[in-house]
Structures are given as structure tokens and as C-alpha cells.
């Protein structure tokens, strides 16, 4: 039976609840999604979500769709978690929001978990606030590269960009044409210190990426698992359906004014 890949479709895979333990003593809740049994991952995404003070969480819609689809479609492992003080259906992570400061321990704990799980080809996937966490705290020897969705460059500095430039690791930024915070031409100027950064402007897209999820997932796969690009739009086989209504009231709130 052929099923269109709509927002609430969950494809086969192995999904397990995880806990991350930070160096400053906090417990963070998350999930690791792996390809279906018998298939080894070819790469891994460590996901860093939008601003938690405005509703961002591990279940923000792009990250949720990545975890529900990419293990089956591209043999990618997807690790999602709530940064300190963040809540979702999965639970509440201990601690308090620290404006991209103490979250460095959260990023380190997630990368450490991916290493401990022996996941190959680890990439960081940040969205909005999560891109600042990538740029400030994600330059780890275990990380192969980074993909940035709607980067506002609010907490990141030129020094952070220079460090990534000196590493030589690939960085791709997907920038919506109609973004509320940083648009493609501005992004090319701001990212100038990061010489190898690939800036991709997405026509008609907005910061929320509503209606553009397939474009985002395709661009992720093109870099991390290129043999699976482009992704299909239909699935032949068994599926489950998730309850996306649990997040409806938080999707728009996640992208209110940054304070």
C-alpha cells in the first residue's frame, strides 16, 4: 500500500527514550531513532531545537519529521533532546534556560551520547536558537559537519564563525527568503568569516518552514546521506500515525519575538 508522506506519518524504525547527563549534573530527556532492525545507520543527526522560552523543543515539527522519516528513508540515526529547562511530550529536562551559555554542557552531553552509541558520521542539525548552540558549542572532534536552519546569529559571534572556518568542517545554512530575523543576502554577509559556509536561500520560505519540510529534509539528506537523495514522497509498506495535535499550540509560539 502506498502512503503519502504527510506530517503525521511515522515510518518503521527503532526508537528508544534516552537520558543525557551533563557535566554540571543535569538530566536531559530525549529520543534516539535508528533505522529498522537489521540496517546500520550511515550517518547521524544530533538535533538542537528552537528557542525554548518561545515553545521550541525536541518535537518542533522539522525535528519530529526528521526522526519519523529519515531512519527508514535514508538510514540516518536521529537524536533529539530537550535542552535544560525545556518540556515536551517526552518530558521535562532539568535545569533552566541560560541564553546559550550553560547549554554548552547539553550539546556536549548529546555528542557524547552519539559517540557512546557508536553512531557514524555525526552531523549537528540546529534550528533557529539551535544554530547558535551549534556555532558556539558544537565544534567537537567527533562532529563531521553542521546544518543550520533559519540561523538568526543572535548569540553567535564572528569568533565562533572563525573557529568553524579554521576547522575546515562543512557548514550549510538553509535561509528562508522571507525569514523574520536573517534573510539570504544578509546571511551571506554575516557568514563571511566562515569561508566554507554554503548559504542556500529557499524561495518563498519563512522561519517556520511550514509547507517546506520536504525541501529541508532533502537538503539534509543530500549532505549527510547523498545516496538517498532525493527522498521519495510516498512510502510502500507499513506506517503508523502520530498525534501532531499535541504540538499545535506550540508551533507558532516557538517563533515569536526573540527576547
pLDDT digits (tens, 9 = 90+) for 218-236: 999 999 999 999 999 999 9
Flag whether 235 is in a domain.
Answer: no
Would the pLDDT of 251 be above 70? no
Q: CA nearest 127: which of 36, 192, 194, 220?
A: 220
Would the pLDDT of 258 be above 80? no
Flag whether 248 is in a domain.
Answer: no
Number of domains in the chain: 1
Flag whether 239 is in a domain.
Answer: no
Q: Are 35 and 14 in contact (CB under 8 A)?
A: yes
Give the C-alpha separation, 196 to 167, whole Å: 10
Q: What is the CATH number of the domain that holds 209?
A: 3.40.50.1820
pLDDT value, residue 248: 58
Give the C-alpha separation, 222 to 227, whole Å: 8
Flag whether 241 is in a domain.
Answer: no
Count of C-beta atoms within a 10 Å radius of residue 134: 26
Q: CA nearest 60: which of 89, 34, 26?
A: 89
Flag whether 136 is in a domain.
Answer: yes
Amino acid at each position: 500500500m502506498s502512503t503519502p508522506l504527510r506530517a503525521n506519518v511515522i515510518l518503521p524504525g527503532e526508537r528508544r527514550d534516552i537520558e543525557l547527563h551533563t557535566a554540571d549534573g543535569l538530566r536531559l530527556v530525549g529520543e534516539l531513532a535508528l533505522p529498522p532492525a537489521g540496517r546500520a545507520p550511515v550517518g547521524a543527526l544530533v538535533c538542537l531545537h528552537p528557542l525554548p522560552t518561545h515553545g521550541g523543543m525536541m518535537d518542533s515539527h522539522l525535528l519530529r519529521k526528521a526522526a519519523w522519516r529519515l531512519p527508514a528513508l535514508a538510514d540516518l540515526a536521529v537524536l533529539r533532546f530537550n535542552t535544560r529547562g525545556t518540556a515536551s511530550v517526552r518530558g521535562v529536562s532539568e535545569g533552566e534556560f541560560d541564553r546559550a551559555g550553560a547549554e554548552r554542557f547539553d550539546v556536549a552531553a548529546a555528542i557524547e551520547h552519539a559517540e557512546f552509541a557508536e553512531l557514524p558520521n555525526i552531523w549537528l542539525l540546529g534550528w533557529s536558537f539551535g544554530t547558535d548552540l551549534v556555532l558556539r558549542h558544537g565544534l567537537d572532534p567527533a562532529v563531521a559537519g553542521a546544518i543550520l536552519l533559519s540561523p538568526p546569529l543572535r548569540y553567535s559571534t564572528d569568533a565562533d564563525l572563525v573557529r568553524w572556518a579554521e576547522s575546515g568542517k562543512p557548514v550549510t545554512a538553509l535561509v528562508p527568503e522571507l525569514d523574520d530575523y536573517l534573510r539570504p543576502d544578509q546571511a551571506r554577509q554575516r557568514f563571511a568569516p566562515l569561508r566554507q559556509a554554503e548559504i542556500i536561500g529557499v524561495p518563498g520560505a519563512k522561519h517556520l518552514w511550514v509547507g517546506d519540510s520536504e525541501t529541508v529534509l532533502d537538503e539534509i539528506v543530500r549532505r549527510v546521506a547523498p545516496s538517498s537523495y532525493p527522498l521519495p514522497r510516498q512510502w510502500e509498506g507499513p506506517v503508523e500515525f502520530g498525534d501532531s495535535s499535541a504540538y499545535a499550540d506550540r508551533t507558532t509560539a516557538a517563533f515569536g519575538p526573540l527576547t
